[in-house]
């Protein structure tokens, strides 16, 4: 405690997003407060009703069970999407910071926000493992801090579910997807992942974690691969989904 107080004196806790150093005094112990009140309010979605199949925002009275008008025709290998908010404004800025080489603290803070905001959805089912969407090992060499894994690690810690970094592997280099259409993305991602030899996921419920869900092509391919290895149910947890 004394050491924490001394550190706060030397390095006053700052908001990870806006760098404001006026975090609330009562709970501004190092490591416990990540965002100032303003940023915290902006990171939380104004409405929480979302399509549970694709994460798209829904009106307050729309049922979230069977997919929305945006995803009803899509065939996804995953069963559910749990997300904090939409990839825009402050949450977009925060996600971009989490992707940077020094973004580990931001990644952990966003994962923590996700657990708090979606505790009900995340604890209503029992997961056998948390599986980060993997990156190609060559890309990993160049980038030791990887947002999907940082977020997955924190979710695993908070939910007390085993982190399985080894079962899913990216076996093929895929191009940057930013300018590809949804159909192109599916083709690019097809066969991108593999499971380690003799991995038996029979009957398991898995929580696949990524930072952002854009068209769902990557999550679909990861889920498809895990189901081929026997998984029964795959739920995708992301910080943000692209706005429709
Ligand atoms: Zn702030
Ligand atoms: Zn939907």
Domains of the chain: 1-43 (no CATH), 49-241 (3.40.50)
**Any idea how long the chain is?**
244
**Ligand 2 centre and the CA of 82: distance in Å?**
12
> Is the whole model's pTM more than 0.95, yes or no?
no
**Ligand 1 centre and the CA of 177: distance in Å?**
30
**Ligand 2 centre and the CA of 179: distance in Å?**
22
**Ligand 1 centre and the CA of 19: distance in Å?**
6
- What's the rounded Cα separation, in Å, for the pair 88 and 70? 18
Task: With beta carbons less than 8 A apart as the criterion, state whether 213 and 238 touch.
Answer: yes
Task: With beta carbons less than 8 A apart as the criterion, state whether 204 and 231 touch.
Answer: yes
- In 3D space, the residue among 115, 114, 94, 99 whose CA is nearest the CA of residue 39 turns out to be 94
180 vs 86: which has the higher pLDDT: 86
Please give the average per-residue pLDDT across 176-202, as a whole number.
80
Kindly identify the ligand whose nearest atom is closest to the C-alpha of 13: 1
Task: With beta carbons less than 8 A apart as the criterion, state whether 185 and 68 touch.
Answer: no
Q: 36, exposed or middle or buried, with CB in 10 Å at 0-12, 13-18, 19+? A: buried
Q: Tens of pLDDT along 71-84?
A: 988 899 999 999 99
Q: Tens of pLDDT along 22-72?
A: 666 434 444 467 898 899 889 987 667 899 999 999 887 787 677 898 898
Question: Above 80 in pLDDT, residue 18?
Answer: yes
Q: What is the predicted pLDDT for the residue at 4?
A: 54
Instruction: Indicate the pLDDT class of residue 111, thresholds 50, 70 and 90.
Output: very high
**Ligand 2 centre and the CA of 191: distance in Å?**
24
Q: Which residues contact 216 (CB under 8 A, 6 or more apart)?
A: 54, 71, 74, 76, 78, 81
**Ligand 1 centre and the CA of 242: distance in Å?**
23
Kindly identify the ligand whose nearest atom is closest to the C-alpha of 38: 1
Phi/psi region, residue 67 (left: phi>0; alpha: psi -120 to 50; beta: rest), is left
Instruction: Tell me the torsion sign for CA atoms 147, 153, 157, 158.
Output: positive
Instruction: Indicate the pLDDT class of residue 189, thresholds 50, 70 and 90.
Output: confident
Cα angle 92-51-237, degrees, rounded to a multiple of 5: 55
Residue 207 has φ and ψ, to the nearest 5°, of -105, 105
- For residue 43, how many other CB atoms are within 10 A of its CB? 23
Q: Long-range contacts: 226-229, Cβ < 8 Å, 24+?
A: 226/131, 226/167, 226/168, 226/195, 226/201, 227/77, 228/195, 229/167, 229/195, 229/199, 229/200, 229/201
Q: What is the predicted pLDDT for the residue at 49?
A: 84
């Amino acid at each position: 405690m004394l050491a924490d107080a001394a550190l706060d004196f030397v390095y006053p806790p700052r908001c990870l997003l806006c760098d404001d150093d006026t975090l609330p005094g009562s709970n501004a112990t190092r490591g416990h407060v990540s965002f100032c009140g303003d940023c915290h309010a902006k990171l939380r979605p104004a409405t929480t009703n979302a399509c549970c199949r694709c994460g798209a925002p829904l009106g307050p009275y729309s049922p979230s069970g069977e997919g929305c008008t945006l995803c009803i025709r899509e065939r996804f290998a995953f069963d559910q999407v749990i997300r904090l908010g939409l990839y825009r404004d402050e949450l977009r800025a925060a996600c971009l910071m989490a992707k940077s080489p020094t973004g580990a603290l931001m990644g952990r803070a966003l994962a923590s926000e996700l657990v708090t905001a979606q505790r009900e959805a995340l604890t209503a089912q029992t997961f056998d493992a948390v599986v980060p969407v993997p990156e190609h090992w060559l890309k990993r060499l160049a980038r030791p801090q990887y947002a999907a894994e940082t977020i997955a690690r924190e979710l695993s810690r908070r939910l007390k579910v085993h982190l399985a970094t080894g079962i899913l592997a990216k076996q093929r280099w895929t191009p940057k997807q930013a300018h590809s259409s949804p159909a192109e993305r599916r083709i690019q991602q097809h066969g991108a992942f593999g499971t380690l030899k003799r991995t038996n996921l029979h009957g398991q419920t898995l929580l696949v974690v990524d930072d952002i869900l854009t068209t769902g092509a990557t999550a679909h391919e990861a889920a498809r691969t895990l189901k081929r290895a026997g998984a029964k149910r795959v739920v995708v947890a992301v910080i943000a989904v692209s706005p429709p």
